[in-house]
Amino acid sequence: MKSEDQLLNFLVNRLDEEVSLNLANNVEIDAEDIYEALFGATADGTSISTLCNSSEDSPSANTILYHLQTKFEPERLERLANTLLRRDIVELLPEQVEVCADLHLRPYYGDEDDTDGLYHSEESVGPLRSTLATLYARVRNKRYTLAVRRLDDGDTASSVLAEFLGVLDGLDTEVRAVYLDRGFYDSKCLTLLQTHNYAYVVSIIRWGEAIQQELSEGWSRVIQHDLTGKLDGHSWTVEFPVNIDCTYLNGKYDDHGAARHGYAADAPFIDTPRDAREH
């Protein structure tokens, strides 16, 4: 508990130093109250309303939310947070690292007429809320977060990846490979990875009859696949290897017991489809 309190105090003090809320003199709460509610809810994986309602010492949830909505500039806060994240972390990284990019997507179940500004994914059937993209270095089974990006309506996986690759290009550390979840599987993202000349592994999505057929039959193998992209009236085709890894379920060593997983993988240390899955 002591270490948790120390971490909370560190975060509150650091943010209080960097961001001025300029609260009026007659306001009954101070910036630390707001930051404690913000970080506390984040750490508990709950909402500020739930946190405030369950604590006798917390200010009103409406008061906290009002100041967060009126005093914070999301874009400025995001830039500041990412700067603070990398300020100390880059000194801890070895000469070579593997990095991962993830999309954290949560569906929106609210009013369909109140979805302005919410992110839409090509995979999802509707708008999403609390949508974040994270970039982190993986060092000896530890995660070092390099960037956090909030996704709004109009953002795309490729626009986020372009920002993340810009972060990697600015590191002094060599990037051994980039691992991406299936949210980054599209023609634009694969083109970006090849243009920046990064080794990569991406979980694929079963888009199109060709890849669906490949993933429904046969054993572990590597095939060549392609996706066609379109932008501003122009189209192009990006080609890449797909590692299909076949595993067996419940001891059934035949086609009926096979589960096949596909990975777009172009990395010198990926020799077999199993390597792609295990990395």
Strand partners, 132: 104, 150
Q: What is the pTM of this model?
A: 0.72
Report how far Cα 202 is from the mean position of its chain's Cα atoms: 13
d(CA 145, CA 124): 26
**Would you state the pLDDT for residue 253?**
46
**Would you state the pLDDT for residue 222?**
92
- The secondary element (H helix, E strand) that includes residue 142 is strand 142-150
d(CA 19, CA 23): 12
Beta carbons within 8 Å of 53's beta carbon, 6+ residues apart: 61
- Token pair 């899955």: residue: 277
Max CA pair span of the chain: 74
Which residues of the chain, if any, have pLDDT below 50?
Answer: 1-3, 124-128, 253
Neighbour tally for 83: CB within 10 Å = 11
**Would you state the pLDDT for residue 278?**
81
Burial of 221 (0-12, 13-18, 19+ CB in 10 A): middle
HSE value, Cβ hemisphere, 13 Å, CA-based, for 257: 7
**Would you state the pLDDT for residue 208?**
76
Q: CA Rg, the chain, in Å? A: 22
